[in-house]
Amino acid sequence: MDTLTAMRYQTAISSVLAYNVFLIKEILVDNSDLIERPFTVTLDHELDGVIFYIDGLSNNQLISQALLDPLIHKSLEQELLGGSRQQSIGTIEKILVTNPEVKIVKTVGEAIDNLLTGESIVVVEGLSKAFTMGTKGWEARMPSEPATELVVRGPRDSFTENMRTNTSLLRRRIKDPMLRLKTQKIGTRTKTAVTIAYLEDVANQRIVMDVQERLQSIKIDAVLESGYLEEMITDARHSPFVTMKTTERPDAAAAAILEGRVVIISDNTPFSLIVPSYFWDGFMASDDYYASYFLGTFSRIIRLIALVISLTLPSLYVLLVSFHQEMIPTQLALSMAAGRESVPFPVLVEVLLMEIAFELMREAGLRMPRPVGQAVSIVGSLIIGQAAVQAGLVSPIMVIIIAVTGIASFAIPSYATSFTIRFLRFPLLLASGMLGLLGFTAVLYVLTVHALSLQSFGEPYVAPIIPFRPSEQKDSLLRVPWWKMNTRPTFAKEKTRQPDPLDEQRKGQKSG
């Protein structure tokens, strides 16, 4: 903002009503949604005032019932019969202050900041302070089924774009007085509310302080989505790996808080951030914990296989066909050679063309309207694949390779993790096509070393596998029964989640 506006912003509320109105209207000049509603209260003396609010952000009915009715329609003549003007002003202040939704502000800037969040401003002649009242009333989406984290069994509600709705969804699940919700404003222009949620007696205070310090250090003009925050505070700014878990499920956020993690909730977005986060978190789904632990473990093993297939299958095919044909069984090698007989491109170019075509169809299906997008992705895959084979541009085995790779990438629950694997597939593919097994091994080695070097808010990114933590293997690649998951991750302050049933049984036998 310019210097003059900044000076007006810091000006104290005056006892002269006209001056306050002038400052507010000058700062918010030419805004058609700024509503100015003058009123007059007749006690022993007539007192003028003005209510400001933003049309569309405030609830008009609430303003009338909670502000205007007490000020105008409540008869106070008997209380102040023969009173002075100062007594009348004092009574007005008393009426406003006793309202539980009202806060007192002393500067024009504070008043306008509250006004732009949907609250109403009340300024009265003779009072050198303004009153803001919580009259937020904009249209908000109700919690609905998550769009990106579908489950077979489990809750069907999700976070919304409304901050208070999201915090209430957490409160409904964690009815613990130690649950802390701390909010701050980030963005010099958007002033976006960002809340961190954690359990005071469970979360590691080092991690909590680290999160708060990183958020406070953000200097940016706007925060429109939690992705802004993720990119600003992540440990690995130049890494393809995602070191912060994203979720729109309140049950997943609540489970993370109960483990001792910190959840970052940003206003205007249904996606919250969970820290610290491990690499393996991207392969865990909420319904792993709602079904039998046998099914949960089996599902995780399938997803791990899907990770390996999605990352390496095209590269393995390229290096075997291009450099190491002796490793392919004879019958399979002859079948593959017959399929590639009419293909005019080297196998690396063939794979790249098919991978790019698949990514184009995936992106088109994602961006187009939902009813059309599914048809485009399915029909496009069938038609283009069949036509490419008949035209001799690609071999039939190549269509199978790309299809299996794509299906495997869809089996990964986290979209961010799936996107990382899809991205890393290309450098691995290029290295395999140019250097064979040597290039494949070298790129995998570099990626592994890079992942081992990463941290997420002080925690090793690939823990609890490396470094190996026996106590955390109960809920990593495998899932043990709930009665066995009696400890939290090592970064939590309170390690014990629940008593071990075997210990309880031994204590009972000794006491007996």
Cα 102 to its chain centre, rounded Å, is: 31
Distance CA 439, CA 19 (A): 73
| Helices and strands (H, E) in the chain, number of each type | 17, 12
Q: Is 379 exposed, middle or buried (0-12, 13-18, 19+ CB in 10 A)?
A: exposed
Task: Report the alpha-carbon distance of residue 276 to residue 307 in Å, rounded.
Answer: 22
132: confidence class by pLDDT, cuts 50, 70, 90: confident
Looking at 145-159, 361-375, 419-433, which range is the least confident one?
361-375
How much is the pLDDT for 207? 95
Q: Report the DSSP beta bridge partners of residue 194.
A: 184, 266
151-167 residue pLDDT tens: 888 898 999 998 989 99
Residue type, 187: G
Tell me the mean pLDDT in the region 232-236: 92
Of the candidates 351, 326, 311, the residue with the CA atom closest to the CA atom of residue 440: 311
Q: What is the mean pLDDT of residues 120-136?
A: 85
The pLDDT value given to residue 45: 66
Please report, for residues 51, 99, 111, 115, 136, the alpha-carbon distance to residue 131 in angstroms, rounded to integers and kept in the order given: 9, 10, 8, 11, 15
Q: Which of 97-106, 159-168, 221-230 has the lowest mean pLDDT?
A: 97-106
Model pLDDT, residue 77: 46
| Residue 166, CB-side half-sphere exposure with 13 Å CA sphere | 28
**Residues 257-316: pLDDT tens digits?**
999 999 999 999 999 999 999 999 988 998 899 988 999 999 999 999 999 999 999 999
Contact 59, 65 (CB under 8 A): no
Alpha-carbon distance of 176 to 116, in angstroms, equals 32
pLDDT at 509: 57
Q: Does 142 or 307 have the greater pLDDT score?
A: 307
DSSP 38-100: EEEEESSSEEEEEEEEEBTTB-HHHHIIIIIIIIIIS--TTTTTT--HHHHHHHHHHHHHTST
pLDDT of residue 81: 46
Least Cα distance to 247 among 335, 332, 154, 331 occurs for 154
For residue 53, CA distances in Å to 31, 59, 66, 131, 138 come to: 11, 9, 14, 12, 12
179 has pLDDT over 70: yes
| Residue 33, token pair as written in the block | 């949604």
Task: Provide the sign of the torsion angle of the four alpha carbons 345, 348, 351, 353, taken in this order.
Answer: negative
Q: Which strand (E) or helix (H) includes residue 181?
A: strand 179-186
Query: b/e per residue, 224-256, with b = 16+ CB within 10 A?
Result: ebbebbbebbbbbeeeebbbbbbbbbbbbbbbb
Q: Give the pTM.
A: 0.87
CA 478 to each of CA 72, 284, 365: distance values in angstroms, whole numbers, following the listed order = 66, 10, 34
User: Checking phi first, is residue 56 left (phi over 0); if not, alpha (psi -120 to 50) or beta?
Assistant: left
Please give the span between the terminal C-alpha atoms of the chain, in angstroms, as a whole number: 76
User: What is the arithmetic mean of pLDDT over 473-487?
Assistant: 87
Name which of 182-196, 211-225, 237-251, 333-347 the model is least confident about. Answer: 333-347
Report which of residues 381 and 149 the model is more confident about: 149
Looking at the DSSP bridge assignments, the partners of residue 46 are: 42
61-94 pLDDT, tens per residue?
A: 777 776 777 666 554 444 444 456 666 677 677 6
511 versus 155: the higher-pLDDT residue is 155
Q: What tokens does 323 get?
A: 């450099």
Supply the Cα-derived Rg of the chain in whole angstroms: 31
Domain positions in the chain = 3-133, 163-277, 303-460, 481-511
Q: What is the mean pLDDT of residues 27-33?
A: 85
As a dihedral over the C-alpha atoms of residue 223, residue 225, residue 228, residue 230, rounded to 10 degrees, the angle is 130
Q: Where are the alpha helices (DSSP H) in 290-369?
A: 293-322, 330-339, 347-367
Let me know: does 283 contact 412? Beta carbons within 8 Å. Answer: yes
pLDDT, mean over the chain = 85
pLDDT given for residue 75 in this prediction: 43
For residue 115, CA distances in Å to 54, 202, 351 come to: 7, 37, 57
Instruction: Enumerate the β-bridge partners of residue 49.
Output: 39, 124
Residue 231's pLDDT band (boundaries 50, 70, 90)? very high
